[in-house]
Structure 1
């Protein structure tokens, strides 16, 4: 519905112009947009030659912040450096394997190339390779949202000696139930009763967008939507029709997530999620990781939080998040409490999933402004 003036049944004009049309941050940023001090490419593997694109912002001598983007399969953008005081922090943005400006990308080289040696273990070691290449020594702040929060937690569990602080947004634990909430919902019974609330899921708040996502898959395949999409992505295209089918599926997957990431969706502008090249990489990398349970053992994160008990943790989560529901943050906080490691701060914003939602962006900026300097923090358990 366009929020202009509509005519009621009684013939009167109803003015909707005063309604809120966006929940995203616009001109409320505390810190200005900036250009990176440096950028470059770092080869981190061979066969294939995975090479990461990185950018370096802020104070070259400042406290290092490693920014981990979402997805898996998303990418960084310069706006992501605006959460941080450029006089205090040195901020590293980089695109993870197979996506963004890193090479080879899934969109350009295909999954048969770009998804080789593309696992959580590989991404963790890429962070260390980037640290070394950029001369980062000692501990750094690790800032991650959505899948970036998952990767941040896994990195901290494995390398607590390198982490000064964890700043996490939109916690993603990635259990099968978490994924089914977003991708399965009522799909199995959709053909018979599209608006029936037969299962919990994101579809409840986005019925029209859910219809577009579900109807890419035949009725017979809707019992496991993620598997059905993965089967399309795994096809080796033999014709233009096959390529069109894969692109349609990738765009449907990507636009579904992009739409439900915002408390107030942009009805007519899916942004980067509607871009063919972005969607082909994003959707296929996500399906690859989800089919392999994020390449993690069951309950890996919650079962290893004792490893990060001495690391200060800050959590920001949108109360109305339909990509990563708030219960995922609750489970993480319970696990931390069980080892005596309550978060330093836990902010529940009146927002959806995106880091660019106004309340969430302001909360993350305030947390970064208030952090204890990395050099003043006590030693981690790994250093004691």
Structure 2
């Protein structure tokens, strides 16, 4: 069977409502010094339209032009940018090393960067904030800090980042894997992706698999003294990156790892994620749900894949319950027959439909 063809049937291809476009404006915005951080940003759509701030996932992912296709270009002013340390922003982990790219790289810095970008682009009123996965986390953290700047939150693949959420994705049965790789000793994403799980655990010695994320962070933090150590770091970054890329799709394309198998992308993506996860996303435990009352003041639209094994549906369910307890159900809560990827057909179409149906921002 051609599994690549099967995987393509789950992806959105010709069903996009809006065509892929070229950015009408782009640039690098200086947001910090010592070390310098410059954010790469792009604008699409109507320069006089309702602003939409698009927050990519990861942490450590990047934006791409396809991310502008969820929005009516005649209605919306669409802003994409690469967060600190990744994509086309400067410096990056891959090009400049983690010491520079991870310095002054926290959730609080990213929240401040959104406001700096707003100011630089002359966005003075409310805006829609659109984010998936880690982008949903950052969108909610931004809204908690600056609720009056948010006309609505459009969130895909809710990520709350609690220890149990990370344990599900990165730990699973790792501690007992060497003795019995197919034992269901703990819940986890590995249950549905056994070969990808084997590849993910391969860079970690069996004795270190009691805490997989800690073991990976030790590899990334190592000052490589030899070509062998540098290869080991790259192999670990690729294993980390490809694991997430694979399990993001309900039907993985085993013939094409995409950007997740690119060395430069993987080095930035893996090390930034490990940096944030080792520091509890630079937020107090329970920060998102503890501030549900603030979020409940903002119309929230949620799309989540039923078969998401990067951010299981339980995370969206916890958010919806917290919003209900705060007195406001989400404006939209759509569960799609999809996994985690924003490029799966049902999820992409649901996000586009939500954007088409949003009430206009009051002038």
**CA distance in 1: counterparts of 2:302 and 2:3, whole angstroms:** 34
Shift of the 3–236 alpha-carbon distance from structure 1 to 2, 3 Å rule, reads closer
**CA distance in 2: counterparts of 1:221 and 1:273, whole angstroms:** 24
TM-score, normalization by structure 1? 0.93
Shift of the 89–318 alpha-carbon distance from structure 1 to 2, 3 Å rule, reads same
| Larger Rg computed on CA atoms | 1
Runs of 4 or more, structure 1, over 6 Å off, are none
**CA distance in 2: counterparts of 1:353 and 1:47, whole angstroms:** 36
Shift of the 316–3 alpha-carbon distance from structure 1 to 2, 3 Å rule, reads closer
**CA distance in 1: counterparts of 2:201 and 2:189, whole angstroms:** 12
Q: Which residue of 2 aligns with 1:11?
A: none
Shift of the 148–229 alpha-carbon distance from structure 1 to 2, 3 Å rule, reads same
Structure 2 SS opposite 1:165? strand
Aligned pair 1:246/2:233, yes or no? yes
Aligned pair 1:328/2:299, yes or no? no
**CA distance in 2: counterparts of 1:46 and 1:251, whole angstroms:** 30
Q: Which residue of 2 aligns with 1:231?
A: 218
Shift of the 292–138 alpha-carbon distance from structure 1 to 2, 3 Å rule, reads same
Aligned pair 1:170/2:157, yes or no? yes
Structure 2 SS opposite 1:348? strand
**CA distance in 2: counterparts of 1:243 and 1:162, whole angstroms:** 44
Cα deviations by residue, 1:124-168 (Å, 9 ceiling, x for unpaired): 000000000000011000000000000000000010010000000
**CA distance in 2: counterparts of 1:20 and 1:116, whole angstroms:** 39
**CA distance in 1: counterparts of 2:68 and 2:296, whole angstroms:** 28
Q: Number of residue pairs matched?
A: 363
Aligned pair 1:119/2:101, yes or no? no
Q: Which residue of 2 aligns with 1:211?
A: 198
TM-score, normalization by structure 2? 0.98
Aligned pair 1:262/2:249, yes or no? yes
Give matches, 1:1-384, under 5 Å.
2-3=2-3, 21-375=8-362
**Structure 1 residue 2 displacement after superposition:** 4.0
**CA distance in 1: counterparts of 2:84 and 2:256, whole angstroms:** 27
Q: Could you tell me which runs of 5 or more consecutive residues in structure 1 were left unpaired when the two chains were aligned.
A: 5-16, 377-384
Shift of the 158–20 alpha-carbon distance from structure 1 to 2, 3 Å rule, reads closer
